[in-house]
Amino acid sequence: MFKSLAPPEYIADIDREKCIRCKRCIQNCGWSVYSWGGDKVLINTSKCVKCLRCYHYCPEEAITIVDNPTRFKSNAYWSFNNIRNLKRQAETGGMPLTGMGSDQKYPILFDSLLIDACQVTNPSIDPLREPMELRTYLGKKPSALSIEKGKDGKARLNGKMPPQIALKLPLVFGPMSYGSISLNAQKVLARTAKECGILMNTGEGGLHEDLLPYRSNIVVQVASGRFGVNPDYLNAGVAVEIKIGQGAKPGIGGHLPGEKIPLDVARTRMIPVGTDAISPAPQHDIYSIEDLRQLIYAIKEATNYKPVSVKIAAVHNVAAIASGVVRAGADIVYIDGFRGGTGAAPSIIRDHLGIPIEHALAAVDDRLRQEGIRNEASIIAAGGIRSSADAAKAIALGADAVAIATAALITMGCTTCGKCYTGNCSWGITTQRPELTARLDPEVYAERLINLVHAWEHELKEILGALGINAIESLRGNRERLRGVGLDAQTLDILGVKPAGR
Amino acid sequence: MNHNYQKDISGCGLTGLISKKRRRLSGDQIVKSLCLMNDRGNGLGAGYAAYGIYPEFKDFYAFHIMFDEPSIRWSVEEYLKANYHIEKVEEIPTFPVKAIQISPLLVRYFVRPLKERIVGEMQEEDFVVNSVMKVNSEIDGAYIFSSGKNMGAFKGVGNPADIAEFFRIEEYEGYIWTAHTRFPTNTPGWWGGAHPFTLLDWSIVHNGEISSYGINKRYLEMYGYKLTLLTDTEVAAYMLDLLIRRQGLDIPSACLVLAAPFWKNIDAKPPEEREFLTALRQTYGSALLNGPFSILFGHSNGLVGINDRIKLRPLVVAVKDDITYMASEESAIRAICPAPEKVWAPRAGEPTIVELDKEV
């Protein structure tokens, strides 16, 4: 067979002096990089994705994985990946797929924003000694509260509030379907959501019965493929999300290769085993905003008026789209920036379509305020939230809560290798191969994810304390407490943030 | 976009008093009380507000307007004439004070909106608020700093004694008084920046820094308020106007919004109260004034004193006969009321609400 002219990305190497031939690397690698040659471990380095599973499980620390030092002649314009992709396309005629959010060098606005702190004129607050409130309610809020006087002369609520979902902190897990990730990975998310008082989201793959005990912390998703959707499913969680788009692949539907669809996934999705699950690009009953309104209200009718979230990708005209979504009756608008993750997307789409969440969020929050409808829906910001600082900055720009997905997978072993679409994830996350998924013990890894959520909770409280505020709602949309460094005037204007020094 | 402003920060001292029986008290008491707290200010701003001072014009809105240049007066008057019946115009009486070399032109107008200008469902008060917003944001160098009925604010750059002398505060008689001395840390040195801040009958004196300013401002802008004075205090004044006048909350409920109780306390309440308090926080999270403050707000029917939710600024209350005193320091109360019947420091977030007896 013709040998590929696309050089391997990584070089896996074993120190033969240290190697004790225990074969753990062979056993652990989901990519078949290693094989047994009778007297030593053989290496097929072209299959290596640098997920580092072998490195961590080698008892002798004999393995090193390095970026392939052999490069094409360096060229400031034609990058290694440009040339490599061209060669791959010449060999296959296909679209190179990828997983994960975009890893390209676009500006990261979060890294150009700094948070304020108190000095002298207002005191900072010590979160270890004073209450510090992160509780967040997602859902439509009235513009004004209707009150009446009770018999005791005290004011009380007149009528009912629209349904609200309580979060212990302004964080949810982004949708990741069963199929794209393993059931064990979903169980880690579900257990953590329940323990931490937050939400996980089924993604578009239906709801496995093993997750039913966690239903009070689950959002069920309805996407264009309508996988696993039935009335019980719609009513299983605390809210329903209509997925219009995804930041990593705006304008195109989900791609779940048949390799990742064994019996159990097929049953949950209500599709045949081994068929590719390709969601249509649009929802074929939503060709315009009034169609969306009909679906929102159909779902509300079917669920006795549970909150409905609408997830959209951050595209150029996101502010107007979000305004339409709110006016169509959504209780939550979930905005996914172009850095948002994916299990599988064509690289060309992932790396070149959409806009960053920072711009999109600022534009949406501004637009909804200009139109006087910001109270009508909560905003969830997603697409590349890497730390509690990113979360705090997103909330200050105007989000009610942020969603994380990649960050959660990283606690399960993910190293962002970006090969989720192959179904070979050695960490048992984005695979359905039973020998691999068995590695991901939900109990063990839930503990790690719970640790992460608790750590962010502490960090957010420290940030609030330094800001001299003791409730998250005083950070939400409070752009006065952000400053930009090295941003141009127009970007600052879009973000509604002053430059540092002002 | 409306984010590129320089916010004003200041520390301060405040004091206020109310006669429940509507006895009109001369301004000398409040001046004495405020001057005791001279060290809480730095001479860069002081002011007074009084209710019941214009009984002969009590049905007219009393616009106190400052003009940076006398020439600006005519464009404002042109606007007023087109929209209001003007009952009376006069320069606000002042007394030359050595320490105050420069002052803006200060004029007061007793006015009533022309009926034909109020169209649709608009209330008369909305019309007045819009006028204040319009003049303050659109006419450069003109400021309406007081717009209520039978009340007025007097304020400027100077220390409490000089400002009192300048405005001849002792000559006014009112049944509610509030006063403020200021310690700005980055003042533009501008008369409009002094307290009290007023809108219609609301007057606010405020000690503190509202750390939630950014979101409070954006929240108010959603309801059409234009925040032009660049201080925290303006936020408090407009927030009360929004919550109480426009959205119909009673004063105790509005106080529960400004200094919201903690969730752990809300969760421990009986169901009906819990549901109400939860709904208040859910609905008005962006109206919570977070950060250190003590505030006195006067209105046509009373006076309210309130602290932030963890009491990061001082506030003391005392009662003697029909008069309730509220001040940053107990000494400021004892300076004018040496033997109060009762003195206490209200707890964090707990409002002190005093209402005037019904008019007879």
Q: What is the DSSP string of A331-396?
A: SEEEEE-TT---SSEEHHHHTTSS--HHHHHHHHHHHHHHTT-GGGSEEEEES---SHHHHHHHHH
Tell me the C-alpha distance between B179 and B50, whole Å.
9
Which of B211, B215, B263 is facing A476, going by the closest CB pair? B215
C-beta atoms surrounding B27 within 10 Å: 22
Query: Is residue B11 predicted with pLDDT exceeding 70?
Result: no
What residues 239-258 of chain B have any CB closer than 8 A to a CB of chain A? 246-250, 252-253
Predicted confidence band at A120 (pLDDT cuts at 50, 70, 90)?
confident
Picking from A173, A168, A198, the residue whose alpha carbon sits closest to that of residue A186 is: A173
The reply to whether B273 touches chain A by the CB within 8 Å rule is yes
With a CB cutoff of 8 Å and minimum separation 6, the contacts of B254 are B240, B243, B244
Q: Are residues A52 and A175 in the same domain?
A: no
> What mean pLDDT is predicted for residues A439-453?
98
Q: Do B214 and A123 touch (CB under 8 A)?
A: no
Residue B208 forms part of a structural domain: yes
B323 token code pair? 């008069």
In a domain, A26, yes or no: yes
* Percent of chain A surpassing pLDDT 90: 93
Return the percentage of chain A with pLDDT > 70, whole number. 100
| Band of pLDDT at residue B9, cut at 50, 70 and 90 | low
**Residues B283, A474: C-beta atoms closer than 8 Å:** no
Cα separations in angstroms, B56 against B11, B61, B110: 36, 12, 10
| B290/A474 CB distance under 8 A | yes
pLDDT digits (tens, 9 = 90+) for B292-322: 999 999 999 999 999 999 999 999 999 999 9
- Mean pLDDT for chain A overall: 95
Residue B125 has pLDDT above 50, yes or no: yes
Number of domains comprising chain A: 2
| CATH code (residue B298) | 3.60.20.10
Q: How confident is the model at residue B1 (pLDDT cuts 50, 70, 90)?
A: very low
Q: Are residues A48 and A173 in the same domain?
A: no
Please check whether residue A152 lies inside any domain of the structure: no
Mutate one of B8, B211, B225, B267 to test the A interface: name it (highest A CB count within 10 A).
Answer: B211
Please tell me what DSSP assigns to residue A502: -
Tell me if A493 and B1 make a contact (CB, 8 A cut-off).
Answer: yes
Kindly calculate the radius of gyration of chain B based on its CA atoms and give it in whole angstroms: 19
Distance from CA of B9 to the nearest CA of A (A): 7
- B221 has a chain A CB within 8 A of its CB: yes
Q: One-letter amino acid identity for A165?
A: I
Quick one: how many helices (H) and strands (E) in chain B? Answer: 10, 18
**CB nearest to A479's CB, from B3, B247, B288:** B3
Mean pLDDT of A351-358: 97
Q: How far is B43 from chain A (nearest CA, A)?
A: 17
Beta bridge partners of A136: A167
Give mean pLDDT, residues B115-124.
88
pLDDT confidence tier of residue B8, bands split at 50, 70 and 90: low
Q: How confident is the model at residue B233 (pLDDT cuts 50, 70, 90)?
A: confident
Same domain, A204 and A74: no
Residue A233 sits in the same domain as residue A376: yes
Residue A22 maps to a domain: yes
Distance (Å) from the C-alpha of residue A115 to the closest C-alpha of chain B?
A: 13
The winner for highest mean pLDDT among A4-8, B59-63, B140-144 is B59-63
CATH number at residue A249: 3.20.20.70
Quote the CA–CA distance of B274 and A1 in Å, as a whole number: 73
What total number of domains does chain B contain? 1
Residues 6+ apart with CB under 8 A from B258: B236, B239, B240, B287, B288, B289, B295, B306
Does residue B198 form part of some domain? yes
Q: Check if B265 contacts A (Cβ < 8 Å).
A: no
> Do the domain assignments include residue B360?
no
Domain range for A352: 168-414+446-499
Confidence band, pLDDT 50/70/90 cuts, at residue A28: very high
Residues present in chain B in total: 360
Confirm whether B302 is domain-assigned: yes
What percentage of chain B has pLDDT greater than the value 90? 78
Q: What is the pTM of this model?
A: 0.93
User: Is residue A114 a part of any domain in this protein?
Assistant: no
Q: Say yes or no for a CB contact (<8 Å) between A142 and B283.
A: yes
**What phi and psi values does residue A49 have, to the nearest 5 degrees?**
-115, 5
What is the arithmetic mean of pLDDT over A327-342?
97
Q: Is the pLDDT of residue A470 over 50?
A: yes
Contact residues on chain A for B184, CB-CB shorter than 8 A: none
B1 found inside a domain? no
Please give the residue that has the higher pLDDT: either A2 or A220: A220
Q: Which residues from B are below 8 Å from A121, CB to CB? A: 9-11, 185, 209
pLDDT in tens, A51-67: 999 999 999 999 999 99
Q: What is the pLDDT of residue A1?
A: 54
Contacts of residue A467 in chain B, CB cutoff 8 Å?
A: 211
User: What is the domain range of residue B101?
Assistant: 13-355
Average pLDDT of A175-196? 97
* Residue B127 three-state SS: helix
The answer to whether residue B95 sits within a structural domain is yes
Does residue A66 sit in the same domain as residue A211?
Answer: no
A366 chain-B contacts, CB cut-off 8 A: 1
Taking each helix axis from N to C end, the angle separating A388-397 and A357-370, rounded to the nearest 10 degrees, works out to 30
What mean pLDDT is predicted for residues A198-206? 96
B1, B2, B3, B258, best to mutate vs chain A, most A CBs in 10 Å = B3
- Residue A257: its pLDDT value, please? 87
In a shared domain, residues A282 and A384: yes
Coil, strand, or helix at residue B241? helix
Q: How far apart are the CA of A468 and the nearest CA of chain B, in angstroms?
A: 6
The rounded distance, in Å, linking the Cα atoms of A101 and A338 is 7
For residue A154, being part of any structural domain is answered with no
- Under an 8 A CB cutoff, do B213 and A480 touch? yes
Q: Which H helix or E strand runs over A158?
A: none
d(C-alpha A235, C-alpha A93), whole Å: 44
- Lowest mean pLDDT of B6-20, B32-46, B164-178, name the range: B6-20
Domain boundary among A54, A73, A94: A94
What are the angstrom distances between the C-alpha of A46 and each of A198, A244, A347, B69, B137? 41, 37, 19, 79, 67
What does R_g of chain A's alpha carbons equal in angstroms?
24
Cβ separation B213–A123 shorter than 8 A = no
Residues of A whose CB is below 8 A from B247: 144-145
Q: Which of A94, A110, A136 is the last residue of a domain?
A: A94
Using the beta-carbon criterion (under 8 Å), do B249 and A374 form an inter-chain contact?
Answer: no
Answer yes or no: are the C-beta atoms of A191 and A214 closer than 8 Å: yes
- Helix A289-302 × helix A318-327 angle, to 10°: 40
Q: Is A24 domain-assigned?
A: yes
Q: Do A135 and B263 touch (CB under 8 A)?
A: yes
Per-residue pLDDT, averaged over A462-486, amounts to 97
**Minimum-distance CB partner of B276 among A156, A366, A477:** A156
Average pLDDT over residues A91-99: 92
The string of DSSP letters for B128-169 reads HHHHHHHHHHHSTTEEEEE--BSEEEEEESS-HHHHHHHHTG
| Cα–Cα distance for residue pair B153/B146, rounded to 1 Å | 6
User: Computed from CA positions of residues B183, B189, B191, B192, in that sequence, does the dihedral angle turn out positive or negative?
Assistant: negative
* CB-based contact B179:B207 (threshold 8 Å): no
**Residues of A in Cβ contact (< 8 Å) with B272:** 150, 156-157
What pLDDT, in 10s, does the model give residues A219-257? Answer: 999 999 999 999 999 999 999 999 999 999 999 988 888
Nearest CA distance, B276 vs chain A (angstrom)? 5
Q: Which of A116, A120, A121, A397 to mutate to test the interface with B (most CBs of B within 10 A)?
A: A121
**Closest in A131, A375, A476 to B264, CB measured:** A131
- Record the tokens describing residue B167, joined without a space: 């405005």
Of A125, A141, A471, the CB nearest to B282: A141
pLDDT at B201 over 70: yes
Among A143, A464, A473, A476, pick the best mutation site for testing chain B contact (most B Cβ within 10 A). Answer: A473
In a domain, A431, yes or no: no
Q: Do A474 and B247 touch (CB under 8 A)?
A: no
Other C-beta atoms lying within 10 Å of the C-beta of residue A365:
25
**A210 and A71 part of one domain:** no
pLDDT tier, B188 (very low <50, low <70, confident <90, very high otherwise): low
Contacts of A200 (CB under 8 A, 6+ apart): A172, A173, A186, A189, A190, A192, A193, A214, A217, A218, A219
Q: Which chain B residues contact residue A147 at CB under 8 A?
A: 248-250, 253, 276
Tell me the count of A-B CB pairs closer than 8 A. 135
pLDDT grade, residue B44 (50/70/90)?
A: confident
Q: What is the 3-state secondary structure (H, E, C) of A103-122?
A: CCCCCCHHHHEEECCCCCCC
Separation of alpha carbons B4 and B320, rounded Å: 47
User: Is 70 exceeded by the pLDDT of residue A308?
Assistant: yes
Q: Which residue of B has its CA nearest to A472?
A: B285
DSSP letters of B161-192?
HHHHHHHTGGG-EESEEEEEEEEESS----GG
Q: Is residue A125 part of a domain?
A: no
Using a CB–CB cutoff of 8 Å, tell me whether B344 touches chain A: no
Contact residues on chain A for B4, CB-CB shorter than 8 A: 498, 502
* pLDDT for B10 beyond 80: no
The SS3 assignment for B295 reads: strand
Given pLDDT bands bounded at 50, 70 and 90, which one contains residue A6?
Answer: confident
B12 is annotated as an active-site residue: yes
ipTM of this predicted complex?
0.93
Are B215 and A156 within 8 A, CB to CB?
no
Two structure tokens written together for B297? 């707000």
A47, A62, A94: which is the final residue of a domain? A94
